[in-house]
Amino acid sequence: MAVRCSGHVNEGDKTLTHGTQTTVTYQGSVADTETKNDDRLATLVQNYDAAFRLAFESFALGTTDSPVRDGEVLELARRAGITRGSRVLEPGSGSGGVSRLLAREFKCDVQGIDLTPFQFEEAQRRAETAALQDLVSCSLGDMEVFDYEQEAYDVAMDVFSWIHVPDWQRLFSLLSGALKPGGRIVMYDAFLAPAATDETAALVRDAWLVRICAVDDCTALLEESGYRVIHTQERGRQVLDNWRGGLANLREKEDEFLGRFGEDAYRFFVETSAWTIGAFEREELTAAQIIAEKA
């Protein structure tokens, strides 16, 4: 299937093959922003379909669909003050691994939102299987335009999802409406490190369809959007280690993976992971945790 997507590359067109079925053509100049946005979302949905989710099961660092370990998510949540009875919003909740972890550990209430129907259905199914449906709920939707309940949440949590959202200023402002006074944004995501070249930045935007910036740019944007940044922690070495561990797991399960998804999906996941690991090793990419409080 061929999908046209635009917005990340300014010079000429590029073509990448994603997974088994998707060829994405990135186009540098499309005037119609609405079409552009629809295409971007359609590509995201295709990329996060079943093969991705199950690739992450082979990657298997824990419960999440991200290059993070369960203990890290729980430690960050503790630092952010999540406790029994907290109301947590998780825009970009994927198959609900983070939501279930938080609900199981803290007995808090978690509302996930995800754009990809496959992930949304998995999240619902898995919450029921884990008997967590009273604490975890999930909506199918786009976090960039979601009709959030106002002043309802203690925490809005991001684990490697908001990098897909192009306009963080708008997202932070929307989430400010959803958070209670003193509520917190909690992010664990990938960022550009000081050594990043323009070429690496463009490549990573292409490969993962992300909006990526430096940690300082993100914290400045949070402050401009009316939040007070109360914690930042660089996690580049940890995420590098996680990626390496996940890729080693995937390689060990090569035969099983090839049998289920075929060579294209395997090659895409392995090559993109290897390339990403290289960028972390060269300290062009990093990861960070950020906690910011609504003023």
Where on the chain is the footprint of ligand SAM (CB under 6 A)? 44, 48, 64-66, 91-94, 97-98, 113-116, 119, 142-144, 159-161, 164-165
With 0-12 / 13-18 / 19 or more C-beta atoms within 10 angstroms meaning exposed / middle / buried, residue 60 is middle
Of 33 and 197, the one with the shorter C-beta distance to ligand SAM is: 33
Q: What's the closest the beta carbon of residue 198 comes to ligand SAM, in angstroms?
A: 24
Cβ–Cβ < 8 Å for 37, 57: no
Of 91 and 183, the one with the shorter C-beta distance to ligand SAM is: 91
Residue keyed to tokens 């000429």: 12
Q: What's the closest the beta carbon of residue 247 comes to ligand SAM, in angstroms?
A: 16
Phi, psi of 84 (to 5 degrees): -55, 130
Q: What's the closest the beta carbon of residue 120 comes to ligand SAM, in angstroms?
A: 8
Of 114 and 293, the one with the shorter C-beta distance to ligand SAM is: 114
Question: Strands 153-159, 87-91: parallel, antiparallel or unpaired by DSSP?
Answer: parallel
Which residue's Cβ has the minimum distance to ligand SAM? 94
Of 58 and 259, the one with the shorter C-beta distance to ligand SAM is: 58
Of 81 and 141, the one with the shorter C-beta distance to ligand SAM is: 141
With 0-12 / 13-18 / 19 or more C-beta atoms within 10 angstroms meaning exposed / middle / buried, residue 257 is buried
Q: What's the closest the beta carbon of residue 134 comes to ligand SAM, in angstroms?
A: 21
Q: How many residues are present in the chain?
A: 295
Other CB atoms within a 10 A radius of the CB of residue 192 amount to: 21
Q: What's the closest the beta carbon of residue 295 comes to ligand SAM, in angstroms?
A: 25
Cβ–Cβ < 8 Å for 5, 26: yes
Cβ–Cβ < 8 Å for 80, 153: no
Cβ–Cβ < 8 Å for 219, 277: no
Q: What's the closest the beta carbon of residue 286 comes to ligand SAM, in angstroms?
A: 17
Of 70 and 264, the one with the shorter C-beta distance to ligand SAM is: 70
Q: What's the closest the beta carbon of residue 141 comes to ligand SAM, in angstroms?
A: 6
Of 65 and 154, the one with the shorter C-beta distance to ligand SAM is: 65
Other CB atoms within a 10 A radius of the CB of residue 290 amount to: 22
Q: What angle do CA 38, 262, 265 make, to 5 degrees?
A: 40
Q: What's the closest the beta carbon of residue 205 comes to ligand SAM, in angstroms?
A: 14
Q: What angle do CA 65, 229, 177 make, to 5 degrees?
A: 75
Of 11 and 90, the one with the shorter C-beta distance to ligand SAM is: 90
Other CB atoms within a 10 A radius of the CB of residue 19 amount to: 23
Q: Give the C-alpha separation, 103 to 188, whole Å.
A: 18
Say how many Å lie between the first and final Cα of the chain, rounded.
46
